[in-house]
Structure 1
Amino acid sequence: MASPNRPSPVPSPHTAPPARTPAAALAPLYEHVCSELGLPKDEAKLAEMRSANTQRLAELEAKLKDAEENLGETEVRDALHARAEYLGSIGDREGATKAYTETEEKTASGGAKADIVFSQIRLQILYEDWHAVKRLLAKAKGICDAGGDWEHKNKLKVYEAVFSMYTRDFKRAASLFLDSIATFTTSELFDYTRCITYAVLTAVVALDRPELKERVVDSPEVLAVVGAVPHLAPFLQSLYECKYADFYRAFAGLMDLVRRDMYLAPHLRWYMREARLVGYQQFLESYKSVTLDSMAAAFDVSPAFLDQELADFIVAGRLGAKIDKVSGVVESKRPDARNARYQDVVRKGDLLLNRIQKLSRIIDIE
């Protein structure tokens, strides 16, 4: 389990919520946690939880049987959904998946079907099965495209943004988060403040400066919330205002938040490098050449640290610059877009020719 802040599957807002599960009656989830962390199971406590789960499931099965014998299709569907939601709430992934499938077969409404898929996505996120999340997102998109309302389409954007963020597609994640914040309703996944936090964090490393200004720095929705998150406002503002020492200080404080976040924690080191790279790129855009000492002073780091950082980014082709170690000067190289496209065509052409030659040798042998 990546984090204690993991969201729990919750019932759809369009259906009556099932009875609240006691905190101690999460037998499937308890077994999973013990297995993941290598902890010994309290067999007596586990037996107690299983008993509570069995009792509650028996009550739900009785209601389902009564609905099938005495009531209509709507009541049967509601009873099936209540059972599925309960199984999801205790972390029974296999049982919940089967129950959700049965519920979906009895569901006609596109919105209700989308809610069922969203519930399954949250359960798969809980178990960190991102392959299943990807399949379910494709299914939810098909349902929404076939006739979903704006609310479910906007919810889908948030779920897709979370998946994009987890898979390091930060540009797409930033666009989706920013598109959804004005009409955010996905409170079952996380609250509005966290949505704004994700929007800012992804936008800083994914958007260019003019777009960052237009969509984030001047956004009324962002401005209304960003101050409530420690270090987030100075992180954003100092980068845009080119106050790089303040940017680094806010960045250091913000990393504690990233480290505790279930979606961002696996990418902590990668995000730290990308955010620093954004700062270096923005700084060097203003200079043809600058001394290493003055640049280090601007970022409030040592020249030795900065020298190593810049060298790594330059060698990796991420930073258009070169370091004159003798003179202690960093020279910025302006990218030539036309020449870059030409070089890209040449590189891809060489790759294609090599593949054709390999294919021709295979054909000749056959």
Structure 2
Amino acid sequence: MEPLPSSDLDTYASRYYGRGKIWRLQHIASQSTKLRKEALLLAIAETKAETRDVDLYKRLVEQLRETEGDKGNIPLLQGEWETTVMREDSKEVERLETELQRYRHNMIKDSIRMAYGDLGDFQYSKGNLEEALRNYLKMRDYCISSQQITDMCLKVIQCAIILGNYSLVESYVQKAEQTPDISTDEKTQAKLQCALGLAHLSKKKLKAAAERFLQVSFALQDSFNEIIAPEDVSTYGAICALATFDRKELKRKLLDNKAFKEFLELTPNIRELVMDFYFCRYGKFFERLQRTEPDWRLDLYFYSIVDMIMECIRDKALVQYVTPYTCVYLDEMAKVFCTDVVHLQDELAKLITSHQIEARIDSHRKILYATKEKRNSGDVWNDTIMRCNRFVDQAESMLLHLKMLKHRLSIRVASGMEQQQQDHRSTAGRMDVISLNNNNNNRNE
């Protein structure tokens, strides 16, 4: 089946900007034959509007021509635009390099820093990413304030992400996090968390990626949309969490995360996936998951790990389903997980072998038996009653204490001589009572 996005491609592409948008559209064109033409047309338009990358423009038009052949309307290579851009670029690069040399001769540090930044931005727009990165890295020696260091780091990080150099991304995220004023800049912190999340995704470290995306502030908005959109933060964070978190972590770090709920509101389908999984509505969960999976296969960062993510999520759901029971009928479980008994048995056997489930399978009767002793319901009730009784005792004690305080009563423990006198009076009183009782008995006789 040809994967199709659940939303209109033009709407999806509008989340992004510049080279990041083009990059994603190129990926979609390479993955979907039905969407190839539309994706290439959008990429061509963005290339012409937001970059000065003539070579990329030519490649995209040629790809579209190869796809369509003699069919349809194919945009012609616009020689006038190419000529104009190339002529302007030649003058601009000469001007920028002349300025840089003048600033270096005069040793004006701030001007040198800005000149390297301008030269890097120009090369980035032309598609010379390696050259752009070299210029951004040269800015480092001329940064004075913490804000200048942060700006330089973000330029390096963005360029390194597009180049796929994630070791450099991690290095410069660390540099940015060490700047003194970073703790007060929520938007920059959000960008850094996103960058680290993508770095972890590239290494298939799903749990580490989830941790980073769940820490992203909603202040991010569309400020980093050349790399990532808020909807992506919701998807990457939630799905990686489903694949790796246990129930307690899922509740504490995802469901109770007020900041991340704002991201989930942007993606209702992902939000419902999380709720269905947590509340064990597996039928709805897997039905929704199957509808969403094709979108992930078109995603630039998810497509290479979709199979691993799907396997992790399914394994966690199987473990979560069987954990409370001492025995499970496989035919009933197979209906819940939308599969047949034979395939389910193979999945459970794999989980037993990897010690994720402590159980054994009765292949003849098609029943899964837990091998680890589980607490029965009677033990649970007894434990609950005992805890309730303890709570009642503590509550009564506190109420008694409050009443005594209200009536200004206190219990004073006698000490020393007072205790001896009280003991003496108490003993004497008991002797008087005994003597009086004996006299009464004698009279009666």
TM-score normalised by the chain length of structure 2: 0.62
- C-alpha distance 274-180 of structure 1, shift in aligned 2 (>3 A): same
Summarize deviations over 1:243-298 as a string: whole Å, max 9, x none: 10011011112212321211111101101100111110110112111111110122
CA RMSD in angstroms comes to 3.8
d(CA) in 2 for partners of 1:45 and 1:79?
A: 30
The one-letter code sitting in structure 2 at the alignment partner of 1:119 is K
Is 1:235 the counterpart of 2:277 in the alignment?
Answer: no
Is 1:197 the counterpart of 2:235 in the alignment?
Answer: yes
Aligned counterpart in structure 1 of residue 170 of structure 2, from 137, 155, 179? 137
- Of structures 1 and 2, the larger Rg is shown by 2
State the shift of 1:72 in Å.
5.0
Aligned counterpart in structure 1 of residue 193 of structure 2, from 147, 150, 157? 157
In the other structure, the counterpart of 2:423 is none
In the other structure, the counterpart of 1:209 is 247
d(CA) in 2 for partners of 1:157 and 1:116?
A: 17
Aligned counterpart in structure 2 of residue 288 of structure 1, from 307, 326, 329? 326
Is 1:25 the counterpart of 2:52 in the alignment?
Answer: yes
What does 1:110-125 align with in structure 2 at a 5 Å threshold?
110-125=146-161
Say if 2:51 and 2:126, in contact at 8 Å, map to a contact too: no
- C-alpha distance 32-75 of structure 1, shift in aligned 2 (>3 A): farther
State the shift of 1:215 in Å.
2.2
State the shift of 1:161 in Å.
1.5
- C-alpha distance 85-208 of structure 1, shift in aligned 2 (>3 A): same
Q: Secondary structure at the match of 1:322?
A: strand
d(CA) in 2 for partners of 1:215 and 1:78?
A: 41
d(CA) in 1 for partners of 2:352 and 2:60?
A: 43
- C-alpha distance 116-319 of structure 1, shift in aligned 2 (>3 A): farther
State the shift of 1:77 in Å.
2.6
- C-alpha distance 225-160 of structure 1, shift in aligned 2 (>3 A): closer
Say if 1:184 and 1:192, in contact at 8 Å, map to a contact too: yes
What does 1:75-154 align with in structure 2 at a 5 Å threshold?
75-127=111-163, 129=164, 132-145=165-178, 147-150=180-183, 151=185, 152-154=188-190
Aligned counterpart in structure 2 of residue 224 of structure 1, from 245, 258, 262? 262
State the shift of 1:34 in Å.
10
d(CA) in 2 for partners of 1:57 and 1:82?
A: 10
State the shift of 1:88 in Å.
1.9
Say if 1:227 and 1:233, in contact at 8 Å, map to a contact too: yes
The one-letter code sitting in structure 2 at the alignment partner of 1:54 is S
Summarize deviations over 1:60-110 as a string: whole Å, max 9, x none: 335546666899543443232112122123321221122113322222223
In the other structure, the counterpart of 2:286 is 248
In the other structure, the counterpart of 2:305 is 267
Summarize deviations over 1:131-181 as a string: whole Å, max 9, x none: x32134224313432535123444322211211122121222222222223
What does 1:309-320 align with in structure 2 at a 5 Å threshold?
309-320=347-358
Aligned residues: percent identity?
Answer: 19
d(CA) in 2 for partners of 1:335 and 1:163?
A: 42
d(CA) in 1 for partners of 2:373 and 2:312?
A: 19
State the shift of 1:30 in Å.
5.6
The one-letter code sitting in structure 2 at the alignment partner of 1:137 is E
State the shift of 1:311 in Å.
3.0
The one-letter code sitting in structure 1 at the alignment partner of 2:276 is S
Say if 1:288 and 1:331, in contact at 8 Å, map to a contact too: yes
- C-alpha distance 308-187 of structure 1, shift in aligned 2 (>3 A): farther
d(CA) in 1 for partners of 2:328 and 2:345?
A: 13
The one-letter code sitting in structure 2 at the alignment partner of 1:162 is L
Q: What is the number of residues matched between the two proteins?
A: 322
What does 1:18-97 align with in structure 2 at a 5 Å threshold?
22-23=49-50, 25-27=52-54, 29=56, 48=83, 50-64=86-100, 73-97=109-133
Give unmatched runs, 5+ long, in structure 1: 11-19, 337-366
State the shift of 1:198 in Å.
1.6
What does 1:157-176 align with in structure 2 at a 5 Å threshold?
157-176=193-212
The one-letter code sitting in structure 1 at the alignment partner of 2:253 is R
State the shift of 1:304 in Å.
3.0
Aligned counterpart in structure 1 of residue 338 of structure 2, from 300, 305, 324? 300
d(CA) in 2 for partners of 1:50 and 1:43?
A: 12
d(CA) in 2 for partners of 1:24 and 1:143?
A: 27
Give unmatched runs, 5+ long, in structure 2: 1-11, 21-46, 68-76, 375-445
